[in-house]
Amino acid sequence: MLMKAPQTAIRAVVLMFCVFLLPAMGTGADKPCYMCHKSKIVGTYVHAPVADKDCVACHKSGGNAHQKNKELNGVKKPGAALCYDCHDPLNEQKSVHGPIKNNDCSGCHAPHVSPYKKLLRAAPADFCFTCHERQKFTWPAPHEPVGAGRCTDCHVPHQSTVANLIKPTKELICYECHDSGISKGKSVHVPVFDKDCSGCHNVHGSDHKKLLKASPTELCFLCHDKKNYQKPSTHEPVIAGRCSDCHLPHQSDTRSLLKFKTKPMCLECHDPKIAQGVSVHMPVRACECDVCHDVHGADTGKLLKMPYAMVPEAPYTDTAYALCVSCHDKAAYTQEENYTDTRFRDGKTNLHALHVKGANVTCRMCHNPHASPQAKLFPESVIGKDNMPIMLNFTPDIRGGSCKMTCHSAKTYKH
Ligand code: HEC
Ligand code: HEC
Ligand code: HEC
Ligand code: HEC
Ligand code: HEC
Ligand code: HEC
Ligand code: HEC
Ligand code: HEC
Ligand code: HEC
Ligand code: HEC
Ligand code: HEC
Ligand code: HEC
Ligand code: HEC
Ligand code: HEC
């Protein structure tokens, strides 16, 4: 608040000065200052004490004497201290503008008169650029208010309770013009929640579209470690840095900022036929693609979370068959005798173990991991060890079944 009270007193003094002292002038003894310094009071916008011809509110008094005694030319107090005689201090908040920290009001304001409002030293369009390099705020596609030179849409000139001299607002300066819905949703990105818009946007302008700080394919790696997205088996859209194929940048109504509401979102890009057939694997039917796959990448081929023998033949080890035996009992494939907890047996012979442990035949030769047009996830054909396709024809029976394939003629088992 301004101290208005002294002003009335000042006006009275000035009035007395005019009535009693002016007529006595001409001797040159104590002419009022403005008689000799006329330019100081002529202008479109005149500072109130100047308009009041109260020169000595700021200047050391001295009349003509000052022409001889340069000491008396100065103002009463240096820098901002003079202004703070009548104006509230402007250097008390969290963020204080550089010149004000240096107690320099005069870089921006003329003390007496100015052709510009608020006694500013330059026209609004050029004002900030008297000190800030215009080049730094010039972009081919600037943020609209910046391009229009409306710096004060977002900044205050003196001080602010918000860092960077940002105009204090109820929520966030950006939401004065943009929908605050970007920070509401089931999952909100941490930097958005933290109001760190500058984590991704250059607020004044950028060489990238949407004011982004980096190209869309590099943006996410400003904060997320690229190494985590460079596994031996990496999902193609991840390799290409197209995180936004699956994620939204601000918020989402689905978990993990996902773009897709459907479950499984995998089928947004992959042929849904992968999960359809006469037999469908239970986890696939349950839409749980991620029990077997790591969506970004994995150490094992085909984005698999655990090793899986992707060849026609491989000796059984717990490691090599880890994926399937993480849910299925490994004894079914290794215990050749006296194992009855599988339907693939002939009498007492466990045909599963006979093939897998006994003959190194991998699960892949008889089962598809997702779905298939035959029962028991049997594929119609597989590629054999000599690189030739093998046709499979599996016929289930109530107590057994029969298998016809290129490698052996129809064989039947019973249990
Ligand atoms: C009789 C005329 C006259 C009066 C009255 C007068 N001045 Fe001056 N003032 C001058 C002259 C002449 C100079 C010297 C100009 C120069 O050095 O270029 C000067 C110089 C100044 C300067 C220094 C200018 C500079 O460029 O450094 C200030 C400040 C100043 N006067 C303030 C005042 C104030 C305040 C008053 C009233 C209390 C006042 N003057 C009254 C004539 C006057
Ligand atoms: C609000 C305070 C204030 C008032 C009121 C004021 N001045 Fe000043 N004046 C200043 C400041 C600040 C300077 C710059 C002094 C400095 O840099 O040392 C200045 C400088 C001057 C100068 C020197 C030339 C220049 O422009 O730098 C003159 C002459 C002058 N004032 C005349 C006047 C006259 C005449 C009045 C009354 C009509 C007046 N001033 C009223 C603050 C004031
Ligand atoms: C002697 C008291 C006094 C001093 C000292 C003083 N001012 Fe003022 N200033 C006023 C008054 C009175 C007003 C008019 C306030 C109003 O209109 O609400 C004013 C208004 C202003 C305005 C607004 C002008 C407008 O057009 O609205 C600015 C800017 C300003 N002062 C800057 C300064 C600066 C910079 C200094 C220091 C160099 C300073 N003042 C020193 C009394 C003073
Ligand atoms: C970086 C430039 C800058 C500096 C430095 C600066 N001001 Fe200002 N000031 C402005 C601008 C711009 C406005 C006009 C704001 C507006 O129109 O909303 C203003 C307005 C004012 C006003 C009018 C009040 C109002 O809100 O309209 C006063 C009084 C004022 N300044 C005093 C000061 C004082 C005292 C200092 C030194 C402590 C100072 N200013 C330093 C830029 C500055
Ligand atoms: C009189 C010179 C001057 C003018 C005019 C000026 N500035 Fe500044 N500004 C500075 C200085 C000096 C700094 C401090 C620079 C630094 O710390 O590197 C600064 C810093 C800033 C900062 C950073 C504040 C912070 O907290 O880090 C912002 C924002 C800013 N200015 C905006 C503006 C805007 C907007 C305008 C126009 C309304 C403007 N400036 C006009 C001199 C000026
Ligand atoms: C849309 C709001 C907005 C507008 C308009 C705007 N700024 Fe800023 N400015 C900001 C934000 C937000 C920051 C903090 C930036 C950050 O965190 O990187 C900032 C920071 C700054 C800084 C300090 C950091 C830096 O980048 O140097 C300066 C100086 C600055 N702005 C000057 C200006 C000037 C000059 C203009 C007008 C040409 C302007 N601003 C227009 C929002 C804006
Ligand atoms: C004074 C109003 C205003 C404020 C405050 C503001 N903006 Fe904007 N912004 C606009 C306008 C106008 C556009 C261009 C029209 C549009 O796309 O909506 C825009 C566009 C954008 C764009 C898209 C740019 C493009 O090239 O399509 C982004 C990103 C953006 N603003 C981010 C921000 C951020 C971050 C903040 C807070 C620091 C912010 N804005 C504050 C007015 C504002
Ligand atoms: C993690 C990075 C990131 C953060 C943090 C971020 N944004 Fe964005 N923002 C983006 C991306 C990427 C786009 C471009 C989206 C597109 O092209 O569809 C964008 C676009 C925008 C747009 C333009 C919308 C449109 O459809 O054109 C606005 C406005 C915007 N952001 C505002 C903000 C605000 C405000 C904040 C802070 C609350 C913020 N952003 C934080 C990454 C981010
Ligand atoms: C400014 C830093 C920053 C940038 C840039 C950034 N993020 Fe984030 N992100 C974070 C932080 C912090 C977290 C929370 C901690 C964590 O999970 O690492 C997070 C978490 C996430 C999450 C997990 C959200 C959840 O609800 O579990 C996803 C998904 C994500 N970010 C995707 C992205 C994408 C896609 C991009 C590029 C468009 C991106 N991030 C760019 C900082 C950032
Ligand atoms: C093919 C779709 C897809 C792509 C492309 C994708 N993500 Fe994800 N992301 C997901 C899914 C699905 C989840 C949820 C995983 C979960 O909840 O188990 C997720 C989770 C996340 C998480 C949080 C959990 C975690 O794993 O840390 C972050 C962070 C993340 N993604 C960042 C990224 C980044 C960065 C990129 C680009 C390099 C990216 N994502 C590309 C689908 C994708
Ligand atoms: C945004 C589109 C998209 C989404 C969503 C998507 N993928 Fe992919 N995926 C691709 C593309 C493109 C390829 C490479 C071409 C191909 O093999 O079809 C690929 C390849 C794969 C591969 C083969 C990897 C290899 O090394 O050969 C697997 C496995 C895979 N995706 C699983 C998934 C799973 C699981 C999900 C859901 C969590 C998913 N994908 C979601 C686009 C997507
Ligand atoms: C039980 C584990 C498991 C589940 C659940 C699973 N997959 Fe797979 N997926 C695999 C295995 C194993 C492979 C490697 C098959 C091969 O090449 O032998 C694979 C391969 C793939 C491939 C690459 C196909 C190719 O021909 O290269 C895609 C795409 C894929 N899966 C998508 C999905 C989708 C989408 C889901 C969910 C609907 C899903 N997977 C669920 C185990 C699984
Ligand atoms: C996440 C757990 C899980 C993993 C990993 C898993 N399965 Fe399954 N599988 C199941 C469940 C649950 C069933 C249904 C109950 C049952 O028959 O045991 C099933 C059933 C089957 C069936 C019988 C299908 C039918 O139509 O009756 C076959 C064949 C099969 N799985 C093969 C595999 C193969 C091969 C692997 C390795 C690629 C594998 N499974 C990995 C959970 C899993
Ligand atoms: C030589 C072909 C063959 C191989 C190799 C094979 N299976 Fe099977 N599997 C079958 C047949 C045939 C059935 C159907 C038995 C029935 O229902 O009559 C079956 C059934 C299953 C079932 C249903 C439950 C059961 O045991 O009856 C699961 C689970 C299964 N297999 C998992 C696997 C896993 C895991 C592997 C690799 C470790 C594997 N299979 C290797 C032929 C094979």
pLDDT tens per residue, range 219-251? 999 999 999 999 999 999 999 999 999 999 999
Query: Could you give phi then psi for residue 399, rounded to 5 degrees?
Result: -120, 55
Instruction: Spell out a b/e string for 330-347, using b for 16 or more CB atoms within 10 Å of the CB, else e.
Output: bebbbbbeebeebebbee
CA of 288 relative to ligand 9 center, distance in Å: 23
Report the nearest-CA residue for atom 34 of ligand 8. 197
Report the alpha-carbon distance of residue 208 to residue 219 in Å, rounded. 10
Q: If DSSP codes are grouped into helix, strand and coil, which group holds residue 344?
A: coil
- CA gyration radius, the chain: 41
Q: Which residues of the chain have pLDDT under 70?
A: 1-30, 62-64, 407-408
Roughly how many angstroms between the first and final C-alpha of the chain, as a whole number? 97
**The pLDDT of residue 28:** 41
- Residue 41 burial by Cβ neighbours in a 10 Å radius (0-12, 13-18, 19+): middle
Report the nearest-CA residue for atom 5 of ligand 3. 83
**The pLDDT of residue 63:** 64
> Nearest ligand to the C-alpha of residue 265?
11
Tell me which of 155, 167, 195 to substitute to probe ligand 6's pocket, judged by most ligand atoms within 8 Å of the beta carbon.
Answer: 155
Report the nearest-CA residue for atom 22 of ligand 7. 210
- Classify the phi-psi angles of 301: left when phi > 0, otherwise alpha if psi is within -120 to 50, otherwise beta: beta
234 is written with which tokens? 């990496």
Report the nearest-CA residue for atom 24 of ligand 10. 256
Residues forming a β-bridge with 361: 313
CA of 313 relative to ligand 12 center, distance in Å: 19
**The pLDDT of residue 261:** 82
CA of 170 relative to ligand 5 center, distance in Å: 23
Q: If DSSP codes are grouped into helix, strand and coil, which group holds residue 326?
A: coil
CA of 47 relative to ligand 3 center, distance in Å: 6
Who contacts 267 (Cβ-Cβ below 8 Å, separation ≥6)?
274, 275
DSSP secondary structure string, 126-156? HHGGGTS-GGGG--SSB-HHHHTT-GGGTB-
Who contacts 141 (Cβ-Cβ below 8 Å, separation ≥6)?
205, 206, 209
pTM score: 0.90
Ligand 10 environment, Cβ below 6 A: 220, 224, 229, 235, 237-238, 241-243, 245-247, 256, 258, 290, 295-296
pLDDT in tens, 2-54: 444 445 445 544 444 443 444 334 334 467 888 889 999 999 999 999 999 99
Query: Is residue 105 within 6 Å of ligand 3 at its C-beta?
Result: yes
**The pLDDT of residue 263:** 77
**The pLDDT of residue 20:** 40
Report the nearest-CA residue for atom 11 of ligand 14. 344
**The pLDDT of residue 409:** 76
CA of 168 relative to ligand 7 center, distance in Å: 17
> Nearest ligand to the C-alpha of residue 298?
11
Q: If DSSP codes are grouped into helix, strand and coil, which group holds residue 394?
A: strand
Query: Is residue 264 within 6 Å of ligand 12 at its C-beta?
Result: yes
CA of 71 relative to ligand 1 center, distance in Å: 12
Query: Is residue 241 within 6 Å of ligand 9 at its C-beta?
Result: no
Tell me which of 2, 112, 118, 121 to substitute to probe ligand 2's pocket, judged by most ligand atoms within 8 Å of the beta carbon.
Answer: 112
**The pLDDT of residue 205:** 96
CA of 66 relative to ligand 1 center, distance in Å: 7
CA of 49 relative to ligand 3 center, distance in Å: 7
**The pLDDT of residue 7:** 55
- What's the whole-number average pLDDT of the chain? 90
> Nearest ligand to the C-alpha of residue 372?
13
Nearest to 215 by CA among 206, 205, 225, 226: 206
**The pLDDT of residue 23:** 38
Ligand 6 environment, Cβ below 6 A: 128, 132, 137, 143, 145-146, 149-151, 153-155, 164, 166, 173, 198, 203-204
Instruction: Spell out a b/e string for 99-124, using b for 16 or more CB atoms within 10 Å of the CB, else e.
Output: bbeeeebeebbbbbbbebeebbeeee
CA of 50 relative to ligand 3 center, distance in Å: 9
DSSP secondary structure string, 370-385? SEESSGGG--SEEE-T
**The pLDDT of residue 32:** 81
